[in-house]
Structure formats: C-alpha cells, structure tokens
Structure 1
Amino acid sequence: MAQPADFTEEQLPDGGTALRFSGALAIARLGDLDERLRAVSANVTQVDISQIDHIDTIGAWLVHRTARDHGAEITGADSDAQRLIAAIEGADDVATAPAKGSPALFVLHELGAAVISTARTFVEFIAFIGQCVKGALNLILHPGRLRFHAIVQHFDTVGVRALGIIGLMSFLIGIVIAQQGAVQLRQFGAEVWTVNLIGRLTMRELGVLMTAIMVAGRSGSAFAAQIGTMKITEEVDAMRTIGVVPVEALVLPRIIATVIMMPLLGLYASLVAIIGGGLFCWLTLDIPPATFVQRIREVTPLTDFYVGMVKAPVFGAIIALAGCFQGMRVHGNSEEVGRKTTAAVVQAIFLVIVLDAFFAVFFTEIGWD
C-alpha cells in the first residue's frame, strides 16, 4: 500500500526553504496535508516532488497552489506529473479573477470585449451565409443531392407541429388587440374602427412577426441544439470523413423548410387572430360576424397581405440561419449546446425585429402603407 502523503522542510544554501514531498499525493492518502501546507510560513523557494510514489489531480493542485502562493519552483516532476501540473496551471489561469482596477477601466474592458466578440460573430455569420449560398448552388447543379425526405420531415417539425401553439397565441392576440382597441376608441365614439385595427395590424405586422418570434423560440432553438449535439458527438466530423457536406445535409434542408413554411404559418396566424378579434367584436361590440367580415374586406388592402407574405420567407431564412449557425459553432462540452441555443434564439429574434423595422420603412417609402 502506498505511503500517506507527507513533506519535510529543508533549508537551502541560498537562505530559502525547500518542501520535499513523499508518499502518494492522491486524494485518499492526503490526510491533513492541506492544513499543514497552509500553515507553512517559511520562505519557500523550491517544491520538490521527486520522491512521491503517485500523484492525482488533487495532489497536483496542492503542489501547484503551494508553489504559486510562495512563488516557488517545482522540481523533480516526471513527465506524467509535469503534464498534470501544467493542466492544473492552465485551468487556474483561466479561473483567476481579473486584477482589481478602477470601475471605469473595468467597464471599458467589458465593452471592448463585447464589441470584439460581436464583430467576430458578425464576420463568422457572413462567412456561414457564404457557405450556405455555395451549398445551394451545388444543389442546383446537382439536384440529386437534395434531401427531400429531410425537408419533408422539417415541414412537419417547423409547420404542422407548430399549428396548435401558434393558433392559440394568435387567437389570444386577436382578442387582446380588439379589447385594447375598443377601450381606446370608445373615448371617441369610434368603436367600429376596431375592425380596421384588427385587420390591418394582424395582416401587416403582428401575424407574421409573432409567428417569427414563436418559430425562433421553438424551431431555431431546436436547430441549434440538434446540430450542436451532433458536433459534440463528432457526427458532423464523421459526415465530412465519408464525403458528405454538412451544410448540404444539415443546414439547407432546415432553411428550405423554414422559408416555405413561414408564409403559410404567418397567413394562418393572421386569419386566426382575425377570428379571435371577430369573436370579441361579436360578443362585446355587437358587430355580427357577417358585418365584421364585410368590414375586414373593405378596410384591409391587398398590399397588407403582400407585405406580410414578403416578410415571412425572409424571417424564416434568418431564423434557420441563426439556429444552424450557432449549432455549427458548438465545441468543447455539453454546456456549449445550452449557450449556443440561447444565443440562437436571441440572435434570431433580434434580427427579425431589425428586419421588421427596415421593412416598415421600406414599404412606406414605396407607397405600400
């Protein structure tokens, strides 16, 4: 059986002290070594581990901590011990808290790091879009490589299975729009204009926008988690090894399915929201369904439908790109999957809202208002 871990103190000619460890520097044989090392107050300049029988991670940490706290040199380590202590040192460097400084410098440091990270992510995202364009051109030149089965499967995941939650959300949003609009318009005796508010707001803006946010949270996160897990388990690397292009096999089917399904989901959400608003108007404002439908047809121009249908596929492409991009960025361990999944949702929703603002200005400028 290995001897318990121990150390002795020895005076060196230069006036310093050497700590010479012996026995097994393993967690089961440490005993009170940690407390004794903390109590050492001598001027330690050398930590010698040439006489130890065995060392594990805990023992390597004690050796590294002792040398670090005293500014001492570690000697006598064999190749295995050197690798273990080097790994401990690297982890300790990463975990070391930054030195305290002025709050202004800390804020500037954090701001600079965020700007650099955002710029790097933007460049990588542009490069990823280029890879997708290249993959799409390859599929156009070689249609036989397109995975129709995967696209149909994503139709079901992105579209069919989302009908319930999107329908419920849209129905409630239609009721909320009608209720809040009626409350405000009642002050001017213009409750009948609630129908205008429901028709134009749902067809032009909220139907597609809320659907995009829901798809980003539901499908965009799923894309990031699925591809991220495949990266962790090295399935993506295996694809490359056997000659399969990951962008063509994993990314493009998801993008195609989302782009096609978003206009359908947006139209479905708008119609369900109009039904919810119509039900509220019927029960609260005494506007019969036939009158409500006739009024909707009169006050909602066809351009509102066009605006929603133009925005929907663009939103779908952005959501799928963000989800797949963050999934492809996963590396290291399973914690990265959670971080990149969160980043995918945040990035997708942010880009959708930015694009929606751009479209609002653009369509107003061309006269589709």
Structure 2
Amino acid sequence: MLLRLTGDWTLAHASILLQGLDGLATAGLASSHVTAGGARRAVFDTSNLNRLDTAGAILMVRLHRQLMDQGFDIDWPQARREHRALFDYVVGSGDAVTVWPQSGSGLLGIIAYLGWLTLFFVREARRFTAFIGEVTETAVLTTIRPGRMRFTSMVHHMEETGLKALPIVGLLSFLIGMVMAYQGASQLQKFGAEIFVVDLIGISVLRELGVLLTAILIAGRSGSAFTAQIGTMKVNEEIAAMRTLGLDPVVVLVLPRMFALVLTLPVLTFFANLMGLCGGALMAWNALGIDPVLFFSRLNEVIVPRTFFVGMVKAPVFAALIALVGCYEGLRVKRDAESVGRLTTRSVVQSIFLVILFDALFSILFSILKV
C-alpha cells in the first residue's frame, strides 16, 4: 500500500489531517496488498511533503502505529533527513510511547526481554549522549559570551548544593573514618601492625572513599532535587513558557546547576577527606592508643601529594555527571506527578551507577599510568 503524504503537516492543518486519518482508518487498512512473502507492506511517500512540525509528526506516529498494529511492514524511502529526525524524536521523546514487551514463557520469552532491554539501554545512552553534546555546545557558547550566564542562579545553587550539604557530608565522612579505623585495628592487631592503620585510613579516604562517598550523597541529595525541580516546572508548563519567551532551558536551568555543582563538589570532597581523617584519628586513639600527634605525623610520612590529587581530580567529573543526569531526567518529565517521582528515582539510580562506573574507569586509568 502506498501512502502519499503531501502539503503541510503542521498544527494549522492538524484538524483536517486528523479527519483524513480517521477516514482512512474507518475505510479499513485491511484491504491492502500482500507481498510475495505473505506480509503486508506500507510505503510512506514523502517526496511532496513540504513542512512538518511536532503536531504533524505526532499524527504520523499515530498512523505508523495503526499500520504496525495491523501487521504492516513500514518502509519510508527517500525521506528528508529533517523530517525523519523529527519523526524519530517524537517517537523517542518520552516514556508514553515506550512499548514494553509482552511477557513470554520459557527461554524465548527471556531472550526477547533481554533483547528489548538491550535496545532500550542503547536508545537511552544515545539520547543522553545527545543531551551532553547539547549542554557542552551551549556551555562553550556561554563561555564565549558570559553575559548569558545566570550567575545569581549559580550562586544560589552553590549554596544549596555546597554550603547546606556540609553537615551531612561531614558527619557521614567522620563516621566512615571511625568505622574504617575500628575494623582495620581489629585485624592489624593480630599481626602487631597497628601503626599501619594510619596508612589504611589515609590512602583509602584520600584516594577513594572521600570523593566516592561525597558524590553518592550529593547524587541522592542534589541530583534528585534537580530532577524534581525541573520536573515540577515541566508539569506546570514553565519550561514551555520559557521557550515561548525565547529563553533556552539549558542556559537558564542546566548550566547554573552544573557549574555550581562542579565548583562545590571538590570543596565538599576536601571537607569529607578532613572529617574522615579526623574520625579515623579519634578511633585510632581510642582503640589503639595512637595519639593524634603520632597519627598525623605518620600520615605525613606515608601520604604524598599525588594521593590527595588522585581523589580530587575525580570530583569535577562526578559533579558534571550528577548534574547532567539530574537535569536530563527532569527535562524528560511528562505532565503528571507520577512521572516526577519515577524519573527522580531513576535519576538517583543512574547517577550513582555512573559515579561508580567512572570511579572504576579512573582506577583502571591510574593503574595503567602507575599513579
């Protein structure tokens, strides 16, 4: 069956197009031609299609689904790149069009589900990569023209993500340092090597635990807040109003949050390192009798500047990942409260996953470089 799409498929002609599509469905699509292989085939001829906007693309998606539901194989030869890009964007722009596979039985059902899951993750990775590219391009242009940057908003988010996060980050880092010192002491005492608990605490906190614990806490605290804030604005159609006024949501919402977190997470990491070492020193004094003077003297002997900077260099990367994931999921929220909660949860999970993944990649890189 050949379907010729002509003229302007835009919002101005949406009512006429919708009537035509309803008439096509009423007339019945079952009377189409069957190919030699037994499958019905529908061809979209868009050679005479002039203009296409989001409303027209949504109608095309509707027609596309009706055909697929009736068992058609869809072919779209010689489509303009911009038309195909808009169509693909509408198809993949939200969870509302995500079709979960039907639960199958046995091995074939499991294989089908795993195949769908793989395609889902590939599609999500492609969208997130495109979002990173868009943010990077906007950040470069904003750096060239700093007048576009919302510095007041950035300072506000620095206070929210940095200053107000100091108590919880400091407390948990202090407790983790105490736990590590206690656990290390209980094992090292068996070999008479109590003094090496200082090496254990210093290296593990400065290289790994300080920045990793801080990033995970900020992912749960600030990354989720980014998603909830932007998602609520999406539900209230504030972002649509921004675009109507000619404002770029990436400049207004994403960049201030990302720059604020990139600047504050290294400071939080430094604070977490100090609190972790203080907690470890206190527990070493209590459990092993290593007084703080001896503890920090030994720490000065075994810790080189490189150990400190290996942990600190990860902080801006983790901050950018957390901010990007939080803002990306917020911009994907639909017009319902359930979507806000679901994508906020997904934001936290994805942020923590990416932080741990990149921490592993950093460890491999530093091992290769012998750092």
Pair in the same fold by TM > 0.5: yes
Instruction: Tell me which amino acid in the other structure corresponds to 2:278.
Output: I
Max radius of gyration: which structure? 1
Structure 1 runs (4+) greater than 6 angstroms displaced: 96-100
For residues 251 and 97 of structure 1, the distance between their equivalents in structure 2, rounded to whole angstroms, comes to 30
Question: 1:99: how far off?
Answer: 6.7
Query: Which structure 1 residue ranges, 5 or more long, are not aligned?
Result: 1-93
Alpha-carbon shift at residue 100 of structure 1 (Å): 6.8
Give the distance between the partners of 2:103 and 2:246, measured in 1 at CA.
51
Question: How far apart are the structure 2 equivalents of 1:238 and 1:145?
Answer: 18
Deviations, residues 213-237 of structure 1 (Å, cap 9, x unaligned): 0000000000011111111111111
Aligned partner of 1:307: which letter?
Answer: V
Q: Is residue 2:128 matched to residue 1:125?
A: yes
Q: Which residue of 1 aligns with 2:329?
A: 326
Cα shift readout 1:104-150 (whole Å, capped 9, x = no counterpart): 23222321221121111101001100110121122122211111100
Is structure 2 residue 229 aligned with structure 1 residue 226? yes
Matched, 1:207 2:210: yes
Q: Within 5 A, what are the aligned runs for 1:139-178?
A: 139-178=142-181
Paired AA for residue 123 in structure 2: R
- Equivalent position of 1:240 in the other structure: 243
The question of whether the paired residues in 1 share the 8 Å contact of 2:158 and 2:260 is answered with yes
**Equivalent in 187, 192, 196 of residue 190 of structure 2:** 187
Letter matched to residue 275 of structure 2: V
- Aligned-pair RMSD on alpha carbons? 1.7
**How many residues matched?**
274
Amino acid at match of 2:236: T
2:191 is paired with a residue whose SS is coil
Alpha-carbon distance between aligned partners in 1 of 2:314 and 2:143, rounded to the nearest angstrom: 24
Other structure's SS at 2:247 match: coil
2:303 to 289, 296, 300: 300
> TM-score normalised to the size of structure 2?
0.72
Q: Residue 347 and residue 292 in structure 1: after superposition, are their counterparts in 2 closer, same or farther (change >3 A)?
A: same
Cα 1:131–1:180 change in 2 (3 A) is: same
Q: Would you say 1:317 and 2:315 are equivalent positions?
A: no
Q: Note if 1:366 corresponds to 2:369.
A: yes
Distance 1:138 1:290 in 2: 51
SS in structure 1 at match of 2:326: helix
Offset of 1:98 from its aligned partner?
7.8
Give the structure 2 partner of residue 65 of structure 1. Answer: none
When residues 199 and 116 of structure 1 are mapped into structure 2, their CA distance, relative to the original with a 3 A threshold, is same
Compare relative contact order (CA 8 Å, sep 6+) and give the higher one, 1 or 2.
2
What is the TM-score normalised by the length of structure 1? 0.72
Q: Give 1:204's aligned amino acid.
A: R
Q: Provide the C-alpha distance between the structure 2 equivalents of 1:271 and 1:286, rounded to a whole number of angstroms.
A: 20
Alignment partners' CA distance in 2, 1:344 and 1:99: 26
Percent of aligned positions that are identical:
51
- What code does the residue aligned with 2:174 have? F
Q: Verify: 1:105 aligned to 2:108, yes or no.
A: yes
In the superposition, relative to structure 1, how do residues 205 and 327 fare at CA in structure 2: closer, same or farther (>3 Å)?
same
Determine if contact 2:161/2:261 at 8 Å carries over to the other structure: yes
